[in-house]
Amino acid sequence: MNSRGRTEQCGDRLIGRYQGRLLFEYIFDARLARELAPRPYFHPVRTLGGVTLTDHQPSDHRWHLGLAYSWPVVDEWNLWGGPTFVRDRGYVDLDNQGKIRHLSWLGEHEQLEWLDGHGRRIATERRLICHPEVDAAAGAWWLELESIIENTCEHGLRIGSPTTEGRRLAGYAGLAWRGPMELRCARVLFEGQAETGEVAMGQRSRWLGYVAAGMTVGFFEHSANPGVPNRWFVRTEEYPLVTSSPVFDTELRLVPGENLRLRHRVLFADGEWDAARLAEAASAFARPPTPTPAS
């Protein structure tokens, strides 16, 4: 039977625990350099057994921040960090990084705003971070997230990826996880099939399992997310990176006042799960979305 962990706010972070064990720290008011596209992120994230499953500002990509919602193409702005892919030019160091800024907490809901490189608001976001759901017998816990993004511009807002800008199989955007180097050379499991390494890039599936070094990280998209089953961005050899991207090869456009709603569930487990076990976990996350209360 699953049980709930608890969360508590401590200064600039939200801390998730279960029976005294640290499961995650969510830094919502991060002091980051502008070129990293400052935004809230989870790090460290640990298994029940105490193994850290996130990396933060690694030397190869300092803008990779554990587990975070990150967006490389928002109109002309970069809310992912680092260089920007420009069609026919490749990656270019531009002064175009924006920021996702924490505003306040209303219960479990976090209020945020997206700012362009000049500090002007281009969107608002309401983010739900649920209490950890723990299955101690299975050595696993789940983090459930919801993000509702509203275009507050007077014009349409374009959200894309390097692939929508012309780079093949580089559709990273959205919920992004950077794992520690100890988790390289993973087996990557999908709904109905199994793939290994870079062959996994661009596969369509409602869920993805990343299995390495006796650990499992699972990513589950809610069936109401746009475009599901979406294509996944996956790296396993150079470094561990997974993004659940709603814009892998097709950009989204929000008219003024329009919302983009995303729901995800992420599994962190001691032990290596197989595809059948991950599929069972995915079926439990296929419920219709809970109606959003009127404001």
Pairing of strands 84-86, 77-79: unpaired
Which pLDDT value is given to residue 193? 76
Q: How far apart are CA 150 and CA 262, in angstroms?
A: 12
pLDDT of 286 over the 90 cut: no
pLDDT of 288 over the 70 cut: no
Q: What is the mean pLDDT of residues 9-34?
A: 97
Which pLDDT value is given to residue 19? 96
Domains of the chain: 3-283 (2.70.98)
Which pLDDT value is given to residue 289? 43
Tokens of 83: 């260089």
Smallest CA-to-CA distance from 82 within 32, 127, 139, 22 is with 32
Q: How far apart are CA 121 and CA 151, in angstroms?
A: 9
Which pLDDT value is given to residue 293? 36
Q: How far apart are CA 200 and CA 204, in angstroms?
A: 9
Which pLDDT value is given to residue 108? 85
Q: What is the mean pLDDT of residues 90-119?
A: 96
* Bond from prior residue into 226 cis (ω within 30 degrees of 0): no
Q: What is the mean pLDDT of residues 17-35?
A: 97
